[in-house]
Structure 1
Amino acid sequence: MAIKDQVPVDSGFPAKTDGANIIADIDLAGKTAIVTGGYSGIGLETVRALAAKGVQVIIPARNIPKAKEALADVEGDVRIEEMDLADIPSVRAFGDKMLEELESLDLLINNAGVMACPEEHIGAGWELQFGTNHLGHFELTRKLMPLLEKTPGCRVIALSSTGHKLSGIRWDDPNFEMEPYEKWQAYGQAKSANALFANALSRRLKDSGGLAFAVHPGGIFTPLQRHLPQEEMIALGWLDENGELSEMAKAGFKTPEQGCSTTLWAAISPKLEGKPGVYCEDCDIAEPTDPEGPMARYRGADPHICEDEAAERLWAMSEEMIGEA
């Protein structure tokens, strides 16, 4: 794909549609989905909507008791399994279990993530946000490829973000070993990686008829902001001086129920057939970023996440990094 492929298709759904309404008229009974981060924020609402439509939903969780508590009121076929995205052996063990127990996998929704956290390194020295948001999902998906390849019409959704505009891939220093750590650049790199991953994966699913897409869910207050002090959220314009939602946030932010809508649209929409690897936002394919527009920081796909060459370079680099684990 290329930036020219970022052409909206007029989905018919407003940006602030509740996710349950996206799939209200779609028959999903008997489907199987894995949703990482499915017990918090928009991941929880994604699970709730899918389970209500008869989907068997498997939620890999680092904290099993917390997951059980969060999912206690979710009706449907919901199953929790142990996995920690920051621990590659844990990811592989979960993948092996799924390969043994599942016959097919219709949806893999790589939703979990961390944002703007203090500096930490995991695995073979990987920066935490890149290692968790990208490499953990990269290895999970690779492990589950046999299931995806034998499931007609499977879809993989990678949760990216408008944060991709903050940084492309730091090819020579992805783990901030040569330069001082900067949490927003690290987040931006991880979100660019999520989008490029969907691009590269789409080619690997082509022969079996699968599709992969990147999704920006929108601005939503969830536990993702747990590492941000209140004064920083005030400086960002998300909160007013009293610590309440600012007028900008009230106008632009979505509820968690609305925040899962683009994920679910990308998971089921027939309008995305023949459009592998595109980046979606507000229940549609995102337009290319207008660099002169007033919303350039918050809307649109930047060219660097739509480059096939960069996507393949990232895939090869990720394989090498995983090999070092």
Structure 2
Amino acid sequence: MGHTTIQAPIPSGFGPHTTAREALGNRNLEGIVAIVTGGYSGIGLETSRVLAEAGATVIVPARTPDKAKAAVAGIPRLELETLDLMDPDSIDNFADRFLAAGRPLDILINSAGIMAAPLMRDARGYESQFATNHLGHFQLTARLWPALLQAKSARVVAVSSRGHRLGGVDLDDPNFDRRTYDKWKAYGQSKSANVLFAVELDKRGSAQGVRAFAAHPGLVMTDLSRHLSEEETGRPKQINDEQEKPAPDPEADQFKTVEQGAATSVWCATSDQLDGMGGVYCEDVDISEAVPADSEKGTGVRPWAIDPDIAQRLWELSEKLVGVKFTI
């Protein structure tokens, strides 16, 4: 266990048009317990539905469960719970309730997220995109660790984005206390943090049967875009570092359906093609290729998101910021 998985396509035989159901195949998930944050809207909702319809018990934590009720109506074996990723006490309370039930946790998909939000801070003063997309999920995973170990063979999926190419994590000023706030830099940082989290979690957990993956869903129009202007959403190339440069890879700029967007997360969480692997960034239902920092490709993972040294330093910083240590 614990050997390094190469950051390169397997290849899986799947692709950008594969749906979550196709990625799952005819796998039976009866007896499997999954938690999907953000599992009541967009890609998360489709992820929850596909897992539940295949037999898994799916717990979906929501800030406002009443609101989420209508969205998940009719999905079998789905349980709504309360959780606010911006509120550390809420994360602890959710984890305590889950652990008290004594269930193992086979699959944790950290799918909730915000994108390009104006500058907001959580109760601790942490920048909202870093706090929600990374730190909240870091704390949640740390607190659920006993249940992941109990599963004997668990997978954690950090839903990232190709937005990670907008920049790495500034370990000296992750919360924009000193540098000028830029909503896209902050988004890129939080998505790079997601990948680095999967890298380090896999390194630490693989010997105990917990493997971790980072997944880029693809470009999907969901509620995630709620902070963007019409001009921004009308241009998928907004995520290009320099907007005036046409994307050299038109295929990478194709919008996906929600069914296609959920495919990579579901594949990372369930596929036996990934048995014995982990710590890699995946997209289009395969392990992604590693590309150089100056790559103009729409696809591929950038070096700052998979650097093991940065991953370890971010981990230690995150433990300090959330005040929770992983008991690995």
Query: What TM-score, normalized by structure 1, do the two folds share?
Result: 0.91
Q: Is the 8 A contact 1:200 1:277 kept in 2?
A: yes
Give 1:73 deviation, angstroms: 3.0
Give 1:282 deviation, angstroms: 0.3
Structure 1 distance, partners of 2:144, 2:262, is: 23
Give 1:235 deviation, angstroms: 5.2
> What residue is the counterpart of 1:279 in the other structure?
281
Structure 1 distance, partners of 2:255, 2:305, is: 23
Give 1:2 deviation, angstroms: 11
Query: Which whole-Å deviations, capped at 9, do the CAs of 1:6-29 have from their partners, x for residues lacking one?
Result: 111111112111101211311211
1:268 to 267, 270, 278: 270
Q: Is the 8 A contact 2:109 2:156 kept in 1?
A: yes
Q: Is the 8 A contact 1:213 1:276 kept in 2?
A: yes
Q: Any idea what SS the aligned residue of 2:113 has? A: coil
Give 1:68 deviation, angstroms: 0.2
Structure 2 distance, partners of 1:292, 1:158, is: 24
Query: Which whole-Å deviations, capped at 9, do the CAs of 1:232-273 have from their partners, x for residues lacking one?
Result: 2345557xxxxxxxxx69971101111000001111122223
Given the superposition, is the C-alpha separation of residues 250 and 147 from structure 1 closer, same or farther in structure 2, using an over 3 Å criterion?
Answer: closer
Within 5 Å, which residues of 2 pair with 1:35-74?
Answer: 35-74=36-75
Given the superposition, is the C-alpha separation of residues 92 and 4 from structure 1 closer, same or farther in structure 2, using an over 3 Å criterion?
Answer: closer
Within 5 Å, which residues of 2 pair with 1:274-313?
Answer: 274-289=276-291, 294=296, 296=297, 298-313=298-313
Give 1:30 deviation, angstroms: 1.1
Query: Which whole-Å deviations, capped at 9, do the CAs of 1:83-106 have from their partners, x for residues lacking one?
Result: 101101000000000001132111
Q: Any idea what SS the aligned residue of 2:177 has? A: coil
Structure 2 distance, partners of 1:54, 1:235, is: 38
Residue identity in the other structure for 1:273: D
Residue identity in the other structure for 1:61: A
Within 5 Å, which residues of 2 pair with 1:106-255?
Answer: 106-234=106-234, 236-237=236-237, 252-255=254-257
Q: Is the 8 A contact 1:2 1:308 kept in 2?
A: no
Give 1:274 deviation, angstroms: 3.0
Structure 1 distance, partners of 2:125, 2:172, is: 14
Give 1:293 deviation, angstroms: 5.6
Q: Is the 8 A contact 1:3 1:288 kept in 2?
A: no
Q: Which moved more, 1:124-133 or 1:250-259?
A: 250-259
Q: Is the 8 A contact 2:43 2:262 kept in 1?
A: yes
Give 1:292 deviation, angstroms: 6.5
Q: Is the 8 A contact 2:107 2:154 kept in 1?
A: yes
Q: Any idea what SS the aligned residue of 1:122 has? A: coil
Count how many residue pairs are aligned between Structure 1 and Structure 2. Answer: 312
Given the superposition, is the C-alpha separation of residues 293 and 199 from structure 1 closer, same or farther in structure 2, using an over 3 Å criterion?
Answer: closer
> What residue is the counterpart of 2:93 in the other structure?
93
Give 1:126 deviation, angstroms: 0.4
Residue identity in the other structure for 1:206: S
Q: Is the 8 A contact 1:202 1:211 kept in 2?
A: yes
Residue identity in the other structure for 2:167: S
> What residue is the counterpart of 1:244 in the other structure?
none
Structure 1 distance, partners of 2:179, 2:295, is: 31
Structure 1 distance, partners of 2:261, 2:43, is: 6
Quote the RMSD (CA, aligned, Å).
2.0
Given the superposition, is the C-alpha separation of residues 90 and 292 from structure 1 closer, same or farther in structure 2, using an over 3 Å criterion?
Answer: closer
Residue identity in the other structure for 1:122: D
Give 1:183 deviation, angstroms: 0.0
Q: Is the 8 A contact 2:236 2:253 kept in 1?
A: no
Task: Show structure 2 runs of 5+ residues with no match.
Answer: 239-249
Structure 2 distance, partners of 1:237, 1:164, is: 14
Give 1:207 deviation, angstroms: 2.3
Give 1:291 deviation, angstroms: 5.7
> What residue is the counterpart of 2:320 in the other structure?
320
Q: Is the 8 A contact 1:237 1:249 kept in 2?
A: no
Structure 1 distance, partners of 2:161, 2:3, is: 18
Structure 2 distance, partners of 1:200, 1:18, is: 29
